[in-house]
Chains A and B, each alone.
Chain A
């Protein structure tokens, strides 16, 4: 029986797809058979971020509608063993996502996979609701910025009232915060919300802090999950977050400004 994770945020552009790609890759790197599903019907992008856009033939919606078999739509990652991508349709709209259809596909996937990671679209409409409905765990992607924090709080409310676990009175969906685009130098200047501020407001446990990093854009340019950039702070921070998700006790890095010198940078890297 696999575990279902939803990567969600409410607000758009905070790093859900980047985080989904990185997280799924991280889980696969640690030996778990993982599939990452794009729920953003009509605005598919996970395929680009994962670098498999030219291999999409059938998609999630085709499988829901019985137009293709699940195995025909699943794309096996070329770099990482155990990693699969289920892209979504670029032409349909979110109404194509029926609860029964999504459930059928998730049930079939859960026979084979350890982790199913659902990459939610922005908003709190059908696509987002479907992506979180069956979740066991939710990772809330938030930027240290007012609108993102507010929307995250909203999505937490939705998880607590409209997920399957909430509706059926089961144990609630576990919720963890992934704070992305964090800039310790701006925090130090008092220009950006601190990790602790966001934690105090949202009141959920911290999974990880991903520093603002040029590596993220570089990685998406070439269709590589940023976690594979093992010399970048963002890549390392994602790797730590995956470890924490799996229960490891890993100290948070990159939350204070780094010294600029080359020597100290080397020291930090090796630490």
Chain B
């Protein structure tokens, strides 16, 4: 009980923050837990197939499954490299690469235009 308390804005109780943070992180984790466990595998295999034809960066792929009431959406988002690089890479590729695990950053100039490819499929 000092005069200082007078000037300090009442801080938000830390317990309230604890509860809010927990609710957010746990909602996320519970959703992940109930999701199908084939998604990472699916992502890997899709990548392997696409990488056979297109030079892609593994980190620029997103696979998401949303379950709706009457229909679910499987969303696969793959960011493709800029056109010229893709061509160059494709030309150089067959000889040296098969799965394309280490393609990407080095061949793409920093800040270069990046084509965007998206595919949505109803399942």
Contacts and interface: CB of A to CB of B under 8 A. Distances in A.
A197 B29 contact: no
A190 B15 contact: yes
B19 A153 contact: no
B99 interface: no
Contact of A193 (B19, B26, B29, B30): B19
B74 to A, nearest CB: 23
B29 A153 contact: yes
Contacts, number: 37
Main secondary structure on B side of the interface with A:
helix
Interface residues of A, number: 17
A191 B14 contact: yes
Main secondary structure on A side of the interface with B:
helix
Contacts of B26: 150, 153, 201
Contacts of B30: 153, 157
Interface of A: 145-146, 149-150, 153-154, 157, 187, 189-194, 197, 200-201
B19 A197 contact: yes
A150 B15 contact: no
7 contacts: A149-B22, A153-B26, A154-B29, A157-B30, A190-B16, A194-B15, A197-B15
A191 B22 contact: no
Nearest to A149: B22
A146 B13 CA distance: 14
